[in-house]
Amino acid sequence: MLPFIAISVLLAITPAYAVWPIPRQYNVGSTPLRLSSSFSIKLSGVHNAPKDLLDAVARTTAYLRTDKLQALVPDRGASSAKAIRSAKTLNSLSLSISTNAKVRSISDEAIENIESRVEGYTLTIPADGSGAILKANSTLGLFRGLTTFGQLWYDWDGTTYSLEAPFDIVDAPAYPYRGLMLDTARNYFPVSDIKRTLDAMSWVKINTLHWHVVDSQSFPLVVPGFQELSSKGAYSASSVYTPADVKEIVQYAAARGIDVMAEIDTPGHTSIIAKAHPEHIACFEASPWAQFANEPPAGQLRLASPDTTKFTSALIKSAASLFPSKLFSTGGDELNANCYAKDAATQKDLASQGKTLEQALDTFTQATHGALKEIGKRAVVWEEMVLEHQVKLANDTLILVWISSDHVQAVAEKGFKLIHAASDFFYLDCGGGGWVGQNVLGNSWCDPFKTWQKAYSFNPVANLTAEQSALVLGGQHLLWTEQSSPHNMDPVIWPRAASSAELFWSGPGGDVGKALPRLHDVSFRFNQRGVKTIALQPLWCALRAGACDLDA
């Protein structure tokens, strides 16, 4: 992990003209520069360029022509028209890769071991119109640099320009994991929505989609050998993700520098499996549900059953085989002990084996994680598996800390690498009101609404020693979708999720006042590209950086 940067110094730039996330070193000037009508991106320093890099170049070139984003200033750039017309022109951007680096595809590098990914780059754009140069030691780094290059330009009357040449950028992430979690079980999201979200993720250098693909409410994933789970557990025959869909999503993500880490949550959150295999589920749709689960419907795997353990291990192995990522989550959150206490089959299994529930959970976990290890996968779990249960986990298991950021230190003290996913900072669904019925005054359990400023203020290493800080791999925003669907997906996620993208790329310590104009810029550019973000302020404020601050 790279040392943290002096973010407060780096943010002292013209706010209406800036990239997101802020680069590690970002030096700009004040000379106007425009793109030539014949501008091109050349791969003169990349031999045998992979197709996904060529495609990334084509997309970047297209965005430069179609973004048509006007500067976020009151006159939208009109006062700069004369300077723009007389500016020197930039004809080309040349890409080169280290001569001693093996040229691999972006897709291959995107799914490399999380600690091994190389995403750094340097970008130089002279003010005199001589060629711009993008260098990296990996194709993934070149892709990140192309993303930055595409954010530097604005449009006035058909001319693509910048007022800040020259540019001298040296960049690399502070943390290797920068994610977004999407739940597709509470409500279904078509492949097209997921692909649009992957595009948006790539524009702010998010590199992991944590796909919470199934849960108690529905089982939309078609798993080879277990097709009955989706045929009986999906909301409809059209609300499924086939192996072909998964392949399409995974390939689309990888070509944009994004790894897809899928999750089959076990042994809780599995009620829907009873539709096909009632023998494996305890307290199926038991009532009142609140005594048996954290949300309806109740039902969880009979973890003490050898048959259920064998079934689950095979299911996870088959599901994980659909995804090339080296990471796969088996969940492990919100286990309800009362469900098992009142399940005769589980009590019989525990008695016959002479085991406690915790001992049975350990046996179950060893089996499911063993199945992942057989196919070269690394297990990821929610924090309860470390903090609440007596389960032996492999040393390389990754822990998602979600209940509270106050629990990070306890996880670090156990010696596990961790990913920040704290509900008190990064949950996108908070503040929407209670969604269960017959609860007139109910609020969402994680109120209030988690603003982008709240996430941006997070310190990933708070209360950690230097040794413990090295265990932090990064973090993510999360969208649980009880109250989200394709109809409100974009504004719920964006631009709030961009705040953690910068936090875990650039490091903590950013000034929300200086970041706000740049986040407006992100949001407006997203809109130009078809992603419907939520407004952060009235347009009047967005066009006048700082004018709506409390102390203005």
508-545 pLDDT tens trace: 999 999 999 999 999 999 999 999 999 999 999 999 99
User: Residue 321 corresponds to which amino acid?
Assistant: S
**By three-state DSSP, how is residue 280 classified?**
helix
Residue 60 backbone phi and psi in degrees, to 5:
-60, -45
With a cut of 70, list the residues of the chain below it in pLDDT: 1-17
Mean pLDDT of the chain: 95
Fold of 25-171: Chitobiase; domain 2 (3.30.379)
Buried b (16+ CB within 10 A) or exposed e, 235-268: eeeeebbeeebbeebbebbbbbbbbbbbbbbbbb
Task: Respond yes or no: is residue 334 known to be catalytic.
Answer: yes
Please classify residue 472 by burial: count the beta carbons closer than 10 Å to its beta carbon, then call 0-12 exposed, 13-18 middle and 19+ buried.
Answer: buried
How far, in Å, CA of 481 to CA of 484, rounded?
A: 4
User: Residue 416 corresponds to which amino acid?
Assistant: F
What secondary structure letter does DSSP report for 289? G
Cα separations in angstroms, 551 against 373, 546, 547: 55, 9, 9
**By three-state DSSP, how is residue 190 classified?**
coil
- C-beta separation of 272 from 228 below 8 A: no
**Closest C-alpha among 183, 259, 265 to residue 474:** 259
What secondary structure letter does DSSP report for 537? S
- C-beta separation of 132 from 93 below 8 A: yes
**Closest C-alpha among 327, 294, 297, 326 to residue 233:** 297
**Closest C-alpha among 210, 428, 247, 266 to residue 321:** 247
Helix (H) or strand (E) holding 319: helix 306-320
Amino acid 389: pLDDT: 97
The runs of H, that is alpha helices, within 40-129 are 51-66, 81-85, 106-110
What secondary structure letter does DSSP report for 528? H
| Per-residue pLDDT reduced to its tens digit, 256-292 | 999 999 999 999 999 999 999 999 999 999 999 999 9
Question: End-to-end distance of the chain based on CA atoms, in angstroms?
Answer: 38
Domain ranges of the chain: 25-171, 177-508
Amino acid 466: pLDDT: 97
β-bridge partners, 380: 329, 398
Cα angle value 45/47/207 (rounded, 5°): 80
Per cent of the chain over pLDDT 90 is 93
Helices 357-374, 306-320: inter-axial angle, 10-degree rounding: 30
Q: What is the DSSP annotation of 120-174?
A: -EEEEE-TTSPPEEEEESSHHHHHHHHHHHHTS-EEETTEEEEEEEEEEEEE--S
Cα angle value 419/420/422 (rounded, 5°): 140
Please classify residue 342 by burial: count the beta carbons closer than 10 Å to its beta carbon, then call 0-12 exposed, 13-18 middle and 19+ buried.
Answer: middle
Helix/strand number for the chain, H first, E second:
21, 16
Q: How many other β-carbons are positioned within 10 Å of the β-carbon of residue 515?
A: 26
Amino acid 17: pLDDT: 60
What is the greatest pairwise CA distance in the chain?
86
Give 289's contacts (C-beta < 8 A, 6+ positions apart): 295, 296, 297, 298
**Closest C-alpha among 91, 82, 79 to residue 34:** 91
Fold of 177-508: TIM Barrel (3.20.20)
Query: What is the torsion angle, in degrees rounded to the nearest 10, for the CA atoms of residue 334, residue 340, residue 346 and residue 352?
Result: 100
Q: How many other β-carbons are positioned within 10 Å of the β-carbon of residue 341?
A: 12
Catalytic position from the list 228, 248, 285, 334: 334
**Closest C-alpha among 427, 416, 346, 422 to residue 378:** 416
**By three-state DSSP, how is residue 328 classified?**
strand
Residue 356 backbone phi and psi in degrees, to 5:
-85, 170
The runs of H, that is alpha helices, within 389-488 are 408-413, 423-426, 452-456, 466-469
| Length of the chain measured in residues | 552
Given CA atoms 416, 419, 423, 424 in this order, what sign does their dihedral have?
A: positive
Question: Do 25-171 and 177-508 share a fold?
Answer: no
